[in-house]
Chain A
């Protein structure tokens, strides 16, 4: 186990993290997902050692890093931290930044290797302000990789990137991390991003981990309604959640009869708000269709497992 958190608690004025348990295996990419104020950045800071937990234990690479009696300083935890604003040292060149945490300050080969890895060959002598946002981010990852950390922590790495570039940078970053075979923990508030990049997602709400699962499982089998609705449109019959792609519409036949309440034009499709009739009970659903339906029109739906 590369990282193990047990019963971790942290409070400032009020509790921010409550009984956090988390296990991460070598090479996994994990997302900590939640709304702002859910405690996700605090959790990352506690793992990095920038904040001290009030109780619980933390092991990195099977070594005790934190408990009630022991608290290893951040500089001795062998973690890499990629900051939201990249936090490159403005007074140092790209090379200076990359070699900052390395003992051998003349290790040109390492710089070259890493710059190749992040696709920025030849920018050794540039200063951070001469680089674009995306380039700065890649340098900040190279800087972290240079110290060969056990785990890389990334705090909202895509939040300051505009939407058009995001997909590309997401892909680049993932490629770099996969190539380096490092364990990585992302903090994000974007469920789509979390699903696209992670092996497992820890969903955090009010300082508690509500669910810790693979993206597929957390999407199709959410354990609570909060988790379900955070990942997109979720329709429920009693406790069972149905996603859009699990619902089939038909005019002629199907499992249940449904009646349109109202529809909203969304350009490529219509968003239909319908009432589904199951065993004499009405359940409100939201479904998409290419065709428009008028209020009170009815059709059939089938649910896939």
Chain B
């Protein structure tokens, strides 16, 4: 039986999946000359450098993320509270901005080399290479691993550390044999997120001239005007993501990792001597290089350029970023609220799968979604003009296109926060309300909505932050002359006006820091 609720879900899923379907369909066509050329020449380079980047970034984020989570969860030392907070901060700085900043600091005429020359060293270290990109991306992305793994460590620690210790195991053994294996889903899950972000990263790979698939998709589409090859590359990127996802899925297997909630107080071990100093050193590295140095750089140049750049134009761009992000977050949360509610009240197999499919956009690289939407909307526009419904391009290049792209890309965030929040509210409350005379629709507003205010806010903030930082989709799909903080940063950086990016970067970081702080404080205090 299809009811109104489920029907809404089906339609929404169809619309959101359409762009991705377009890409796949287009790529399945016959091979073009460029594609043959691609295969003969640089396709293997695209794939190999993407793979190198994915695995290297995965490796470093694993060490940084799990290491920092371990130290801050199981040991007691001065400033541990500060580090718990500070280690999440690099999240506020988009990867591409971090990339611009380090390319400037290590530029030939700049800070680092001036310092070297003053020491009498004349050598030049060029940082525009894959190794720097690996390090920078690891610094920008390890907070995913840190936050998720720390949450998992905390949970299994308070539930299982004391019982395990009482059975006569040493702390080290408990960690290695119990807590680490139990946190495997968190570790692999967060690594999968990092890897997907790495595959779809555009700003930094393009600026450092690393030939990975995502910049290749854009260059083939816009530079060579070869849509067939671009979609082919997009499918390659999609396949990589699917491989990452299936590894994650396979890893979960059948074992249950469910841990009962416990509030047991568990004593942390005190650190002393050289171990303490090593800990400080290890924890400070990501905070200094991932947040402090970029922040100082941004602060210094923002101060220098404030007078010149803080004008109406800046204000317009700030407003653009704000309005698009707020609008996106609002629409997504409203839709996600209904979608999640539908699979709550009609928990059919189809509805459960739909919320998985609706999350596809988040796993797909932005570039894939971008060209999918361009193709889809061009076709619709063509049809509209051919049938004399409109005279000019109606959808292509409109604000609506951009908004739609954001919704496809970030819908998963909304639906996941809603799903997990609904899970915490007993379905009996819904039944109780209906047996007391309220319809599904009224119950949603009378019972679930008031109970989910916090979760809605949380999801809203997450979507908002992601949208503010988003680069490739915005760059490709924005209306003519429509700039956001992210695109402006990109454009200035690519025009070699790195210092001028500071003020826009500051905008993004300040805006992201506020909600990030709220979220971290809510969780840990």
Chain A residues with CB under 8 Å of chain B are 48-50, 73-77, 79-81, 83-85, 87, 89-91, 100-101, 140, 143-144, 147
Contacts and interface: CB of A to CB of B under 8 A. Distances in A.
Interface string B418-448: 0000000010110111111111000000110
B80 to A, nearest CB: 32
Looking at B426, B431, B438, which has the most chain A CB atoms within 10 Å of its CB? Answer: B431
A285 to B, nearest CB: 45
Given A48-B431, A50-B434, A84-B428, 18 more contacts: A49-B434, A73-B434, A74-B435, A75-B435, A75-B438, A76-B437, A81-B431, A81-B435, A83-B431, A85-B426, A87-B431, A89-B429, A89-B432, A89-B447, A90-B451, A101-B436, A101-B438, A147-B436
A111 to B, nearest CB: 15
Contacts of A89: 429, 432-433, 447
B448 to A, nearest CB: 10
A91 B454 CA distance: 13
A87 B451 CA distance: 13
Looking at A48, A80, A100, which has the most chain B CB atoms within 10 Å of its CB? Answer: A100
A81 B432 contact: yes
7 contacts: A48-B435, A74-B434, A75-B435, A91-B450, A91-B451, A140-B432, A143-B432
Interface of B: 426, 428-429, 431-439, 446-447, 450-451
Given A91-B450, A91-B451, A100-B433, A85 B438 contact: no
A48 B428 CA distance: 12
Contacts of B431: 48, 50, 74, 81, 83, 87
Given A90-B451, A91-B450, A91-B451, A143 B436 contact: yes
A73 B4 CA distance: 14
A86 B432 CA distance: 9
Nearest to B453: A91
Nearest to A82: B432
A167 B433 CA distance: 29
Contact of A73 (B433, B439, B451): B439
A154 B436 CA distance: 14
Contacts of B434: 49-50, 73-75
Nearest to A149: B435
Nearest to B449: A91
Contacts of B446: 100
A75 B446 CA distance: 14
Nearest to A101: B436
A196 B446 CA distance: 38
A301 to B, nearest CB: 50
Contacts of B432: 81, 83, 87, 89, 140, 143
Contacts of A83: 428, 431-432
B432 to A, nearest CB: 4
A100 B442 CA distance: 12
Contact of B426 (A87, A91, A140): A87
Nearest to A100: B436
Nearest to B429: A87
B428 A87 contact: yes
Contacts of A49: 434-435
Looking at B436, B438, B439, B451, which has the most chain A CB atoms within 10 Å of its CB? Answer: B436
Nearest to B1: A52
A48 B451 CA distance: 24
Contacts of A80: 435-436
Nearest to A83: B428
B437 A101 contact: yes
Contacts of A144: 435-436
Nearest to B434: A74
Looking at A75, A81, A85, which has the most chain B CB atoms within 10 Å of its CB? Answer: A75
B37 to A, nearest CB: 55
Contacts of A73: 434, 439
A141 B439 CA distance: 21
A75 B451 contact: no
Contacts of B433: 89, 100
Looking at A49, A76, A91, which has the most chain B CB atoms within 10 Å of its CB? Answer: A91
B429 A147 contact: no
A127 to B, nearest CB: 13
Nearest to A143: B436
A143 B431 CA distance: 14
The 7 closest A-B pairs by CB, nearest first: A101-B436, A87-B428, A81-B435, A87-B432, A74-B434, A83-B428, A91-B450
A76 B436 CA distance: 9
A80 B433 CA distance: 10
Contacts of B451: 90-91
A75 B447 contact: no
B429 A75 contact: no
A87 B446 CA distance: 14
Contacts of A74: 431, 434-435
A143 B447 CA distance: 15
Contacts of B429: 87, 89
Nearest to B428: A87
A72 to B, nearest CB: 12
A77 B439 CA distance: 12
A75 B437 contact: yes
Contacts of B426: 85, 87
Contacts of B447: 89
Contacts of A140: 432
Contacts of B438: 75, 101
A58 B426 CA distance: 28
Contacts of A91: 450-451
A48 to B, nearest CB: 6
B190 to A, nearest CB: 32
Contacts of A75: 434-439
Nearest to B431: A50
B210 to A, nearest CB: 51
B7 to A, nearest CB: 17
A50 B432 CA distance: 10
Looking at A49, A79, A81, A144, which has the most chain B CB atoms within 10 Å of its CB? Answer: A81
A234 B433 CA distance: 44
B428 A79 contact: no
Nearest to A74: B434
A80 to B, nearest CB: 7
A74 B438 CA distance: 9
Contacts of B435: 48-50, 74-75, 77, 79-81, 144
Contacts of A85: 426, 428
B437 A147 contact: yes
